[in-house]
Amino acid sequence: MGYKRMDTELLKLYNAHVYFNLNVIKRKVENEIPKFIRNEDVLNYFPEGSGPYGKITTKNLPFHIISRIVAELRISSYDPNGSISKTAEAYENWNQESFIPYCKKFENQLQEIGELKDLISLVEDLDRIMIAHFRLVRYGIPVHNIGMNLLVQYLLTRFISKEECYQLYPFLISGLKNKLTETNDKIHNLASLINKSQALKSLFTNQDSSEIYNTLSTKNDPSFQNFLSEFEIFLNEHGVRGFTREIYYPRWKEPPMNNVFDILKSLVIDKWEELDTIKAINFKKRKRTALIVEKKIRSQRFGILKWKIFSAILKNSKKYISFRENQRFNLDKWITMNRNAYLKIGKNFTKRGIIPDENKIFFLRKHEIKKLALDKYTSQEIQQISSEVIKRYEDFKIYENKIPPKFLLGSREFDDELKYNEKSPIFNGLPASQGITTAPIRILHDINLISTVRSGEILVVPQTDPGWTPVFSKIGGLITETGGILSHGAVVSREYGIPAVTNITNASKIFKTGQIVKINGYNGTVIPQNLKERD
């Protein structure tokens, strides 16, 4: 794109977590985001204060409009699919014409291949096919998705007011169809099937998730067989999902399928509202909000022109929110294919005594795997690598469930200065989904505890992933420590019409399960009502 002073090193692995180079984001802000739309959603990437990377500094950085124009000209010449009018369509064409056919071919090839050198060639080919994905995503998410949504919020604030923008904007960008909402719809269909059969409901309520699939497969019950048939279809279409992008963890379709059964358990174990009812209510709210916004803008001076500009930008903002969720589904497919291929390599390495079990393959670097597969290491080097794998795995287990510091300078870790503690009377985050509710909190650090979430509770998590979101239909609200209005949790919260507040640092440490709070998704506040613990 022709930007100057851009670092080439993007990522750093530190204590089993990956950090992104903030200097790159800073340069993109200078070149892509004008001062007047640099709101808290953007500034949240930066630490507090006026240091070289502070929020105040970033907010006041000059906007290099000439660089932006030059970048657009370069894109139109060298990569025309990067323009806002083409990226989403070009991505869908690539998905239909290249990626989906490739995925089908990959599964067959993986089953047939036995030689290590052929497996290495296969995973390298898989990376090559994904280059087209990343080339389009680099425009679709950081430029079009973020840019258009920032602009919608700015125009709403200018044309109406900042307070009403908070209330109206989440409604305007909800009701979107994408792979995330499709996945959740299908899970709810499965939950509905379970609720219609007393035998199925009893099975899911009383049996451990690790045993459910085996019971379904061996019992000669028509309702079990019908459910199993629908479940197999679901796994075929959506089994690539998981609760994280970390390749080490199993995907939904891997036996014994604990994660997906835990979600279904949570949905059937107590009362939850049918999806059709939720959708009907939210449809009316969205329609009413859209009419209010149109009326308010059209009634102003030059109102017709303002409305045409606003509605065109809003259309693009919604298109690229769906783009973001759809590309994430393909990313899950890519992770799953990589996982399956590397596990097959891992079995070979385990037989050779290089690693203790196939899952430890994920603690080798790609270049190490290739050299081991092609016998490029001496026996002494192999011993050193084997020892290093154990050390890396041990480090991973130490930091696996620890929330990492938000920032890293060299090897110095730091977070923003904490604004709140257990005695704070009010917490201010980012309003991400409309609504107000008062309810008990449920802290969730571990996806394996998702079946403990009760109907109507306010879920508090460090961050959300698509794999967590099907249970949102039963919760009363959402609080996250990170993320903004375009995060997965915010997107799904809006679809289910539950209030969500993001970006409350240390929320999962400050709040306690059972504590009653009032969450306001219009202004982004959380107000503790008492500190009573649940029994």
Whether residues 261 and 226 share a domain: the answer is: yes
Q: Does residue 142 fall inside a structural domain?
A: no
Whether residues 443 and 482 share a domain: the answer is: yes
Q: Examine the fold and report which residue of 78, 106, 126 is the final residue of a domain before the chain moves on.
A: 78
What would the pLDDT profile of 392-448 be if each residue is shown by its tens digit? Answer: 999 999 998 787 888 999 888 888 777 888 889 999 998 889 899 999 999 987 777
Q: Does residue 165 fall inside a structural domain?
A: no
Residue range 506-535: mean pLDDT, rounded: 84
Task: Collect all residues with Cβ–Cβ distance below 8 Å to 382 and sequence separation of at least 6.
Answer: 354, 372
Whether residues 523 and 436 share a domain: the answer is: yes
Give me the pLDDT at residue 533, please: 44
Q: Does residue 245 fall inside a structural domain?
A: yes
Q: Examine the fold and report which residue of 275, 295, 321 is the final residue of a domain before the chain moves on.
A: 275
In whole angstroms, what is the distance from residue 128 CA to residue 531 CA? 53
Q: Does residue 83 fall inside a structural domain?
A: no
pTM: 0.90
Whether residues 361 and 445 share a domain: the answer is: no
Residue range 465-470: mean pLDDT, rounded: 78
Residue 426, amino acid: I
In whole angstroms, what is the distance from residue 337 CA to residue 328 CA? 14
Whether residues 377 and 456 share a domain: the answer is: no
SS3 of residue 340 by DSSP: helix
Whether residues 470 and 522 share a domain: the answer is: yes
Residue 533, CA distances (Å) to 207, 460, 529 in order: 28, 15, 12
What would the pLDDT profile of 161-210 be if each residue is shown by its tens digit? Answer: 988 888 889 889 988 899 999 999 999 999 999 999 999 999 999 999 99
What would the pLDDT profile of 322-368 be if each residue is shown by its tens digit? Answer: 999 999 999 999 999 999 999 999 999 999 999 999 999 999 999 99
**pLDDT more than 70, % of the chain:** 98
Number of H helices, E strands in the chain: 21, 12
DSSP sequence for 222-286: HHHHHHHHHHHHHHHHHTT--SSS-TTSPPTTSTT-HHHHHHHHHHHSS----HHHHHHHHHHHH
Whether residues 450 and 497 share a domain: the answer is: yes
Whether residues 374 and 445 share a domain: the answer is: no
Whose tokens are 């080798």? That residue is 364
Whose tokens are 């917490």? That residue is 427
Whether residues 435 and 512 share a domain: the answer is: yes
Q: Does residue 126 fall inside a structural domain?
A: no
Q: Does residue 155 fall inside a structural domain?
A: no
Q: Does residue 322 fall inside a structural domain?
A: no
Residue range 495-509: mean pLDDT, rounded: 89
Residue 101, CA distances (Å) to 95, 119, 129, 189, 388 in order: 9, 19, 11, 27, 38
Q: Identify the domain containing residue 468 by its residue range.
A: 427-528
Whether residues 449 and 377 share a domain: the answer is: no
Q: What is the DSSP letter of 424?
A: -
Give me the pLDDT at residue 492, please: 87
Q: Does residue 226 fall inside a structural domain?
A: yes
Residue 450, CA distances (Å) to 59, 367, 454, 459 in order: 39, 37, 9, 10
CATH number, residue 445? 3.50.30.10
Whether residues 524 and 431 share a domain: the answer is: yes
Give me the pLDDT at residue 166, please: 83
Give me the pLDDT at residue 99, please: 98
Contact 235, 261 (CB under 8 A): no
**pLDDT more than 90, % of the chain:** 70
Q: Examine the fold and report which residue of 44, 78, 112 is the final residue of a domain before the chain moves on.
A: 78
- How many distinct structural domains can be found in the chain? 4
DSSP sequence for 6-71: --S--EEEETTEEEE-HHHHHHHHHHHS-GGG--HHHHTTS-SSSSTT-HHHHHTSPP-HHHHHHH
Whether residues 433 and 512 share a domain: the answer is: yes
Contact 457, 534 (CB under 8 A): no
In whole angstroms, what is the distance from residue 327 CA to residue 460 CA? 26
